[in-house]
Structure 1
Amino acid sequence: MKSIVFVGAGSMAEAIVAGIVENNVMRADQVYVMNKSDDDRLKEMKEKYGVAIVCPERRALQEADIIVLATKPKDIQQAMRDIAPLLTNEAAVLSVIAGVSIKTMEDGLGKRPIARSMPNTSATIGKSASGVAFNHFVDESIRTHILHLLGSIGIVKEVEEDELHAVTALSGSGPAYIYYMVEALEEAAMANGLSREVARDLIIQTVEGAAAMLKQTGDEPMELRKNVTSPGGTTEAGLQTLEECLFKEAIAACVSRAEARSRELGAMF
């Protein structure tokens, strides 16, 4: 690829820029960033990553291979009106904006290769779990480039566009569910006599270790759970309480409600 332009300079744009530059996916001078009004933010990203700033004439938009839409959802219509006259027919578009459909982007930017993705906030440390969907104008070369870009900030799974609502509910919102669980574990640990510092360190290592076991062993979660659960032991007692509190039902309701909300928000665009 010759160049890539980010329309929007928020945290998700920065996470992808960092992944691209730090993993040598593209050279920093091939990466351009623009936004609506915050010049200080653009200067900050230029100083931090060595990327280029899109000049007022916006020539970079006319020469880019991929345009990454990373504005706030409320700004997307104006952003598309601003850049549409400057795009060539060959430029592909990757959106990381929640709720904005491929059809909306086709209506605003014309019939061109378009990918819609949902990374999560762990992209900022290269640990995102992203889903991506493509329209039928995307060929194998463009698909490979976009998967490579998203792979620079974590793992990426190709899905149908309608499945992105479930991806949003699961991995898009998922970090918040984990943090909420950590909050609850920390409060419980402190109520049982541990200091916040000790509890936090133990919880982080426990979550990290459990995730590593799932990834490295390839065992089913049920099997790993059973391996920890001795008959009549402490783990069994704790799990019985979770069952009595309808833990699985609460998780199912959580994901279902988030998925439904994603659809509600998507219908606004």
Structure 2
Amino acid sequence: MKTNAKKILFIGCGSMGEAILSSCLKNGLYSPENILVAEIDSKKRADIALAYGVRAMSPEEAGRGDNSVGAVIAAIKPREAESIIPLLKNTDFQMLITIMAGVSCSYFTDRLGKIPVLRVMPNMCIKVSKSVSGLFANENLNNSPLKNELMAEAEKIFSASGAVITVKNEDALNRVTAISGSGPAYAAYFVEALENAAAGLGFSADDAALLSLKTVEGTLAYLSETGESALELRKKVTSPGGTTEAAIQVYEENKLKETVSASCRAAYERARALGNKK
């Protein structure tokens, strides 16, 4: 994969930002000398510079330096959005990529003018290069003469850390949040419940964790590698009158599918409400 000769600026380098930075380097998308990091935490700056060989500086220093970059990745907490506006005003960039949940594209265009903004909703699995990231390009990015080049670059960055889907409207990112953004917690909750069930059947905590995690891990690998649907696999495992059918019957009696749908709807509505506060 060709290394990008343009510079990229990370504003904030917490767990998500560092995961993206690490993936960019590991996959040869950028060389260390073309990665800049603006990070408020001095210890974090030192750790990032030492670990990756990139230039890490304070936001104030970043605002005084060579401020011509291809893309800016804003990887900070949503409540900190206002704090990066001065740095963005002093930076010459082609595209702002923000992974801040609930902070709309208009939040930035209202303050910075008609800039190209790409909102991205990854999930925690980006730390192990297994994320699903939803991408939404604002009108300014869609109308940019550099649209194809910029979108291709963004897709490279996030596909290096997992799967990517592009959505047509900003509200769709709220739906992405409800499914894949929060999804790792749903999956972890099920593993947790399975562990509790195993412990209730007399297994030790270690054995309960092993049985539960490896069963789910193996199931996901099977689905991914065979291309079978979840429904097809469930039917294969569920023999009439057997143990699996007895368990599935309990799920159906307790309306598990309806509960999952309701929980995702609640997450979606909450994402919309948080976005409306920005």
Q: TM-score, normalised by structure 1?
A: 0.95
Aligned residues: 266
Asked if structure 2 preserves the Cα contact closer than 8 Å seen for 1:93 and 1:113, the reply is yes
Q: Check if 1:256 corresponds to 2:265.
A: yes
Q: Check if 1:196 corresponds to 2:205.
A: yes
Question: How high is the sequence identity, in percent, across the aligned residues?
Answer: 37
Q: Provide the rounded CA distance (Å) in 1 between the counterparts of 2:129 and 2:66.
A: 27
Asked if structure 1 preserves the Cα contact closer than 8 Å seen for 2:71 and 2:96, the reply is yes
Deviation at 1:61, TM superposition (A): 6.2
Q: Provide the rounded CA distance (Å) in 1 between the counterparts of 2:151 and 2:21.
A: 18
Q: Check if 1:179 corresponds to 2:188.
A: yes
Asked if structure 2 preserves the Cα contact closer than 8 Å seen for 1:29 and 1:52, the reply is yes
Matched ranges for 1:148-167 at <5 A = 148-160=156-168, 161-167=170-176
Deviation at 1:60, TM superposition (A): 5.4
Which residue pairs with 2:107 in the alignment? 104
Deviations 1:157-197 (A, max 9, x none): 11122110010011110101111111110011011011121
Which residue pairs with 2:47 in the alignment? 44
Q: Check if 1:142 corresponds to 2:145.
A: no
Which residue pairs with 1:78 in the alignment? 83
Asked if structure 2 preserves the Cα contact closer than 8 Å seen for 1:6 and 1:69, the reply is yes
Match of residue 117, structure 2, among 114, 124, 138: 114
SS of the residue aligned with 1:130?
strand
Q: Provide the rounded CA distance (Å) in 2 between the counterparts of 1:192 and 1:43.
A: 49
Asked if structure 1 preserves the Cα contact closer than 8 Å seen for 2:10 and 2:38, the reply is yes
Q: TM-score, normalised by structure 2?
A: 0.92
SS of the residue aligned with 1:155?
strand
Q: Check if 1:68 corresponds to 2:73.
A: yes
Deviation at 1:137, TM superposition (A): 2.9
- Runs of 5+ in structure 2 lacking a partner? 142-146
SS of the residue aligned with 1:5?
strand
Question: What amino acid sits opposite 2:37 in the alignment?
Answer: V
Cα gap change, 1:34/1:58 in structure 2, threshold over 3 Å: closer, same or farther? same
Question: What amino acid sits opposite 1:244 in the alignment?
Answer: E
Structure 1 vs Structure 2 CA RMSD: 1.4
Q: Check if 1:240 corresponds to 2:255.
A: no
Deviations 1:103-143 (A, max 9, x none): 11211222122100011111111111111101233310000
Asked if structure 2 preserves the Cα contact closer than 8 Å seen for 1:32 and 1:60, the reply is no
Q: Provide the rounded CA distance (Å) in 1 between the counterparts of 2:220 and 2:165.
A: 18
Q: Check if 1:4 corresponds to 2:8.
A: yes
Asked if structure 2 preserves the Cα contact closer than 8 Å seen for 1:31 and 1:52, the reply is yes
Deviation at 1:78, TM superposition (A): 2.1
- Runs of 5+ in structure 1 lacking a partner? none
Deviations 1:186-233 (A, max 9, x none): 011011011121121122221112112222222222111100000000
Q: Provide the rounded CA distance (Å) in 2 between the counterparts of 1:196 and 1:169.
A: 31
